[in-house]
Structure 1
Amino acid sequence: MELKSLLQDIKQRKLKPIYFLMGEEPYYIDKISEFLGDNILTEDEKAFNQTTLYGKDVSLDEVLSTAKRFPMMAEYQVVMVKEAQDLSREILAQVDKKKNQLEAYAENPQATSILIFCYKYKKLDKRKKVYKAIAKSGVIFESKKLYDNQIPTWIRDEVKRRGYSISPKATHLLTEFLGSDLGKITNEIDKLELILNGRKEITPEIIEENIGISKDFNNFELQKAFGTKDFTKAYRIIDYFSQNQKNHPIVLTIPILYNFFSKVLLYHGLKDKSKANVASNLKVSPYFVSDYIVAANNYPMRQVSGIIATLREIDMKGKGVDAASATPTDLYKELLFKIRS
């Protein structure tokens, strides 16, 4: 079920007796369960009719026994099972030859109970009878992990939803610094929202001042320096990284550069080099297409292939393979030398 339609149904009180929230991305599981907890019962009703259980502390039998109770002076009772993945074996286990406990409950759920499972980092097999039983009487929502290339769009949409805008470079900085953890990203956007103080755009300068990400010394600027063959700037950034290895470990920098030059190689192979087609095939924002065009003009296809091979070699050395005594500073310098050659 799509997130928007799910939340809309809850708002309109088109409620189901079971909500099974599962998947690799915990952010949406937390958000939906929080929304359910906030919108089904009034504050007065919650005292007697809202129960939170934790998978590591209870059995499935206890969960279902709680769900079979009747509400007190309310239309519904809400039973929230957090960390339900700890009940994974019980949820899938058969208690007789035909079905398991949850499957049996899903076939005849308590109409006045809303049972919510927060089943993080895992998902039910769609072929299982228990999945089909829950899907028939309730809602199954799969919270999928976003791909890295989807994160910038997610950040931009989240900022827009709050009534602000964010520059492409600022989006890239947040993506690089925070990765694909939507919870972390949301927390940082919350902080930025508090300090915007009337300003409507999140800029690299605001991020540098308030989150501590340098707008000049980061992996995005390093790949851009290599792409434009500004080796003086690349050396300054590498020197900064060498002195701040805790925040800029080489094992994270190399994959970013590898991804960049892999896309430059892909660009070389495209017949249609229109901006829209390049953005679509490289899975990048149209704003950054020019960076790949410049890099492709500076590095012929054969040279790009050599750089990719070098990055693989440096990556292995950074992980201690055939270079136990090499320091990150040594490897950064070797990388610069070989790309420049």
Structure 2
Amino acid sequence: MSFEKILTDWQKQQFKPIYWLEGEEPYFIDHLMQFAEEKLLSDAEKGFNLTVFYGRDTDWAQLINACRRYPMFADKQVVLLKEAQQMKDIEKLEAYIEQPLTSTILIVGYKEKKLDGRLKMAKLLKQKHEVFTTRKLYENELPVWVKQTAQNMGYVIQPKALSLLVDAIGNDLNRLYNEIEKLTLNLKGRKEITEDDVEEYVGISKEFNVFELQSAIAQKNMGKAIKIIQYFDANPKAGPLQLVLPAIHGFFCRVLMLHEAGSGSKNTNAIIGSNHPNAIADHTAAVKYYSYQQTQQILLLLHEYNLKSIGIHDAGSSGADLMKELVAKIML
């Protein structure tokens, strides 16, 4: 079952006895848990019929006892188990999963991993109940997610503003959601999010960011690249090396795929995961300025400097020095 389907069912007051939410993307689990806590019961019902547990502080018997209680002054009760991955002996819930109380809605948030599919409990969950498994979104899925999230809030986000957010934050969906929400609260009646808004309210410079550094490298503009790196050096939160290197690596991976697809490929948008003119221009320029063999060498260089950034084969150079050295070697 999908995230959207679960929400739709809940909004229609259609419930299953048990929902098992697992996987490596916490945003979807957190969002469903918050919705369940706030919306599944009326305010009058919550006092008697909403119980929230945390895995680290809960034992299996305590949870089962709560699930086997009958609702008071309502036709259902809701039991939430948050951070279930920290609960000891969680497999002992198997007996309840096999025969749950139909008036109880048990929702389990099992973050960072999946339940071992070989366990009888895992098989019972899949056979009888709803299991929702999350994953981290791929880089090329993020723009669509951000655009859709803004639209769901009633706003339009300009392509450049969208790129700034995605390039600066990456696939941290909880942070992306919070930043979009923050932007909407500051628009004072406007319905369009611009790059100026992102710069002012999120604190991402529209001139000095990973996206612009990537563009400078693509265009072989050494002066602009060094200027951006110097800005990062003076403003460490604007461009930490741990963010910059993966972004540039991803960019040149896509450039390599464009080389492999051949000139004039009709799949450019699909390969780079964007139809934004600036993104297309940067990737097209990189294909022009860097041959297939050079692109392969750049990817090896990026691996080498990633190791240096964590102290391997490096005597303690600053992030800015490593970036300047790397950019110079890329543009040779």
Common fold by TM > 0.5: yes
CA contact (8 A) 1:67 1:110 kept: yes
Corresponding residue for residue 206 of structure 1: 197
| 1:144-183 map, 5 Å | 144-183=135-174
Distance in 1, Cα, partners of 2:281 & 2:96: 57
After superposition, the Cα gap between the structure-2 partners of 1:312 and 1:11, relative to the gap in structure 1 and judged at 3 Å, is closer
- Residue 61 of structure 1: aligned partner: 61
What is the aligned partner in structure 1 of residue 268 from structure 2?
278
Task: Determine whether 1:262 maps to 2:261.
Answer: no
Residue 36 of structure 1 corresponds to: 36
Q: Is the 8 A contact 1:279 1:285 kept in 2?
A: yes
The residue number in structure 1 matching 2:11 is 11
1:35-90 Cα offsets, whole Å, 9 max, x none, are 22333322112111111112111211110011111111211121111121122x41
**1:317-332 maps to which residues of 2 (within 5 A)?**
317-332=308-323
1:118/1:305 Cα in 2 relative to 1: closer, same or farther (>3 Å)? closer
Query: Which of residues 102, 113, 128 is equivalent to 1:111?
Result: 102
- In structure 2, what is the equivalent of residue 97 of structure 1? none
Taking every aligned residue pair, what percent have the same amino acid on both sides?
41
Greater CA radius of gyration, 1 or 2?
Answer: 1
Give the TM-score normalised by structure 2.
Answer: 0.92
Please give the alpha-carbon distance, in whole angstroms, between the structure 2 residues aligned to 1:109 and 1:325: 58
Output the CA distance in 2 between the equivalents of 1:120 and 1:308. 32
Q: Deviations over 1:119-139 (max 9, x none)?
A: 111222334321232233322
- The amino acid of 1:91's aligned partner reads I
Please provide the CA RMSD for this pair.
Answer: 2.0
For 1:10 and 1:327, how far apart are their aligned partners in 2? 51
Aligned residue for 1:233? 224
CA drift of 1:113 comes to: 1.3
Residues in 2 aligned to 1:48 and 1:80: alpha-carbon distance in whole angstroms:
14
Distance 1:327 1:165 in 2: 39
Separation in structure 2 between the aligned mates of residue 157 and residue 118 of structure 1, nearest angstrom: 24
**Length, aligned pairs only:** 331
User: What is the one-letter code of the residue matched to 1:218?
Assistant: N
Amino acid at match of 2:292: M
CA 1:161–1:308: 2 relative to 1, 3 Å: same
Structure 2 gap ranges (5+): none
Deviation at 1:286, TM superposition (A): 5.0
Q: What is the DSSP-based 3-state SS (H/G/I as helix, E as strand, rest coil) of the residue aligned with 1:19? A: strand
- Return the alpha-carbon distance in structure 1 between the equivalents of residues 42 and 174 of structure 2: 27
Contact 1:165 1:200 in 2 (8 A): yes
Deviations 1:129-170 (A, max 9, x none): 212322333221112221232222111110111221112221
- How many angstroms apart in 2 are the aligned matches of 1:226 and 1:308? 13
CA distance in 2, matches of 1:167, 1:148: 18
Q: Of 204, 209, 212, which residue of structure 2 is paired with 1:221?
A: 212
